[in-house]
Amino acid sequence: MLESVDDTEYIKVGIKLKHTGGRAHFMCPACDSIHTISVAYDEADPKRPIWGWNNSDDSPTFTPSINRILGPYPDGSSKICHSFVRDGHIQFLGDCTHAFAGKTMEIPDFPFLLWEKHT
Ligand SMILES: [Zn+2]
């Protein structure tokens, strides 16, 4: 997707990722929410883990795996979303507690309009 900046300049806008301030954000179809990871050192939060990233917005690869524990919820339960992101696809690992465990799928387009509403 190309976005016009002025008559002569264009910038590439990634469709699967949004990245701001050293963080990358992508839509997780299993959790129906946005997962955020750090991809650059942050002086304000030096202990935050940093993922390797291939610098691609359209076909991102992150290393190592991304393990999200959601909850605990009011009933005391929690959910696990554990995945590898490679070449623009999410490979959900077998220890995920959601229905996408064991499946691999393309990362959905980033919901920019939704994001703007919430920030
Ligand atoms: Zn997830």
Concatenating the DSSP letter of every residue in 27-78 gives EETTTTEEEEEE-S--TTSTTS-B-EE-S-SSS--EES-EEEEE---TTS--
* pLDDT exceeds 90 at position 115: no
CA 33–ligand 1 middle distance (angstroms):
7
> What whole-number distance in Å separates Cα of residue 109 and Cα of residue 5?
21
CA 5–ligand 1 middle distance (angstroms):
33
CA 62–ligand 1 middle distance (angstroms):
14
CB atoms within 10 A of CB 106: 12
How confident is residue 2, by pLDDT bands cut at 50, 70 and 90? very low
- pLDDT recorded at residue 119: 59
Domain ranges of the chain: 2-118
Q: Is 91 helix (H, G, I), strand (E, B) or coil?
A: strand
If you average pLDDT over residues 30-46, what whole number do you get? Answer: 90
CA 23–ligand 1 middle distance (angstroms):
16
What's the predicted TM-score (pTM) here? 0.80
Predicted confidence (pLDDT) per residue in 60-92, tens digit: 999 999 999 988 999 999 999 999 999 999 999
